[in-house]
Amino acid sequence: MILTVTLNTAVDITYRVRALTPHASHRVTEVAERPGGKGLNVARVLAALGHEVTVTGFTGGATGRALREQLAHTPGVVDALVPVGGATRRTIAVVDETTGDTTQLNEPGPTVSPAEWSAFQEAYGELLRSASAVALCGSLPPGVPVGAYAGLVRAARARAVPVLLDTSGEPLRRGVAARPDIVKPNAEELAELTGSHEPWQATRDARRRGAHTVVASLGAEGLLAVNAEGRWRATPPRQVRGNPTGAGDSAVAGLMSGLVDHLPWPQRLARAVALSAATVLSPVAGEFDRRTYEELLDRVAVTGDATAA
């Protein structure tokens, strides 16, 4: 079982408009609503790939009940979310059909009490007993300690469960120091962590801070990866236009899938890049266009040096 952790779950609402114009009224042409938050997006992609997935994190209020009802209809995903008194947040994505650009509005999430945080840690420890790998994903809701991910990384490592961390800012900095097996920042998060805007240098610097493997997402330009075995770059054979929301989460799903399938790193990266690109053609996060994925998978270019760290 793969475990995904989404401490700041959400109901993702996607609006499509013909053209997004500031200060104007818009007619929405299409609405989609899904359980969201980075780890839930990762879980849906993993389930679509045929993996057994359990999701945990916090949920509460009317929005949380709606999220769990929708999640109950997601094949292959087991709900182990922990209830809180506050209301689960919503995220709003507005897709401009003319330009293909997406504008994202993210609510902060419920305030988590110390007792609720303790209850989650206890539930997380129990779930680790049957987990083959764990992905820690997304932002922290108010009330959760900034070093929360560092503690969750250490708990997973204490049970010899491989752990991937995908977050940003101070939670990323502290989490990296706990030595996760994989971290997956994007270029902006990587620069904030290391102070370097040169991707290879920043990736190496991030690894020296504690992560065993650093996989840097460069958007449409693919992925970089550095670990003790070497370094690689994976790029899609062509760029696809569409909604990039969730593309990074699909890349995480590809890395987790490759991890539990024991694939060599070049194949893991190819899977992650193909899934990420195929997600851009999906109308909502947590889904991917399977035909595009299968077409791209064998055509992702992976170059690298298996001896350079």
Q: Which of 249, 261, 289, 298 is catalytic?
A: 249
Concatenating the DSSP letter of every residue in the chain gives -EEEEETT-EEEEEEEES---TTS---EEEEEEEEESHHHHHHHHHHHTT--EEEEEEE-HHHHHHHHHHHTTSTTEEE--EE-SSPPEEEEEEEETTT--EEEEE---PPPPHHHHHHHHHHHHHHHTT-SEEEEESPPPTTS-TTHHHHHHHHHHHTT--EEEE--HHHHHHHHHT--SEE--BHHHHHHHHS--SHHHHHHHHHHTT-SEEEEE-GGG-EEEEETTEEEEEE-SS---S--TTHHHHHHHHHHHHHHTT--HHHHHHHHHHHHHHHHTSSSTT---HHHHHHHHTT-EEEEESS--
Report d(CA 87, CA 289) in Å as an integer: 32
Locate 227 and state its tokens. Answer: 């670990």
249 is catalytic: yes
Taking the C-alpha atoms of residue 249 and residue 302, their distance in angstroms, rounded to an integer, is 20
Gap between the Cα atoms of 94 and 79, Å rounded: 28
- Tokens standing for 72? 């109950």
CA distance 141 to 10: 11
- Residues with active-site annotation: 249
